[in-house]
Amino acid sequence: MDVKVGPHWYRNSDGTIEIEGLPQIELITRKPGGPLRINFAIFDSIGKLHAKLEGSSFVINEQAAYELVKSEGRVLIRKTESHKPVLDLQLKEEGRIEISAGEFYTLKGHLLTITPQEWTVEKMQGKEGESDMKGKAVALAS
């Protein structure tokens, strides 16, 4: 599966995104045209689990702090009060997935920010480019 995080393409991944060495996002498509399913854990700045998605549905959502907006080929998770995107994913042609925006904490309590120009977490950043994952997980800030 090809996954674009911000401006960087991760080709031939297994659909898992590891952040700081730990799996936090799992992307699933049964066929190139979709539907797109996501498993995702949302933490706070001290690493406490606040929300969890399984199969693109919330199984945990403390105090209804997050909302899920799904449409054909798109999954948007945003904060309920501010509508600020936590994670914005789109399924593109040929089964490619693009994560164009997001801001959430890792299990280690570090803020990950995704923009079209870069992704950043701690002192690590990803800029425009491509990486061949050779069937393994996408590793951000490993």
pLDDT in tens, 58-79: 999 999 999 999 988 899 999 9
Angle at 102 between CA 96 and CA 104, to 5 degrees: 125
Give the single-character DSSP code of 138.
E
- DSSP class per residue in 112-123: EEE-SS-EEETT
pLDDT in tens, 39-54: 999 999 999 999 999 9
Q: Judge whether residue 142 has pLDDT over 80.
A: no
pLDDT in tens, 92-103: 988 899 999 999
Tokens describing residue 61: 């959502």
**Cut 0.85: pTM above it:** yes
Q: In the chain, where are the structural domains located?
A: 3-140
Q: What is the dihedral of CA 73, 75, 76, 80, to 10 degrees?
A: 130
Which among 26, 65, 28, 27 has a CA at the least distance from the CA of 44?
65
